[in-house]
Chain A
């Protein structure tokens, strides 16, 4: 944990999260990320995970109820997001994040078919309609495309259902860091593993990914 002498001349705790259980966690049927200023990629396509891997790692589960290792890092850096696999029927999703040798496990049962577990920050919704006056910039809280408080929960995890042109969207690690959004800090190592209780026959359902940035 880093400390610094702040404005008041006292040591202050690190501004970064070290316990992944303090990161945002949602379930969503469709995630977006931008691959260009007005070009989105959705988690229903392989291109989403190919692009995500540019800022982390992508992988796939191959056996039901068996962990797939998305990344095993030695060193220091930041974890931004974990995008889990899904299944065509209700299932249980588990994430195991080992931070500096300490494992943390998240398990969500009765996940609705086609929904993915997302760990880490996200924008409320992203408008990627090129004709929109705001272009493809992500929107802030309580914007006109924000789902707001109507999101139900499964196992205590909020469920955000996508709209026709609006989805929860993840950002690049550099944007997350630049915007001072919640990230997980690791100092010696990070390992991210995911598993789903059932193995889908659909390739895209089995794909998953993680975004992170090692210290330069």
Chain B
């Protein structure tokens, strides 16, 4: 089973004919570590499925400080869905934190297929539901947990995270300073 079939089957099965049409909107692309996939201010036309590697979305504030918003690992979809939906410029940057292999999909072609195939409309709803569940988890984390607890969750989801991205970027994801993260790690690992 190829990678797109794996992605599709975890969401909502498609008939053979529609699956082939869906596959046809993707191109496999390689990105190097730190390469920008989509920059703030650009209007997005593509969405991406992460096949290998880890990516993130982040914002630069007026002081030049970067704030990591979300992290993406295989098999997740990424890209500025907000920009794709509203056709307005992306408010975030999307970047590869390691060398990545991404499947780039043409969103406009996808929406055309959705219009012509009812099962893709149901498929799209299912993707949006899944994305929502992931986001809700992140929102609940950010509004009810402290940084140490969010860090523990992160380690559970992505155990190698400390080897994949620098500490200051993990701190940014937790919305704390690197010094605070250092204290948290010291406390966790000295036990």
Partners in one complex: no
B interface with A by C-beta (< 8 Å): none
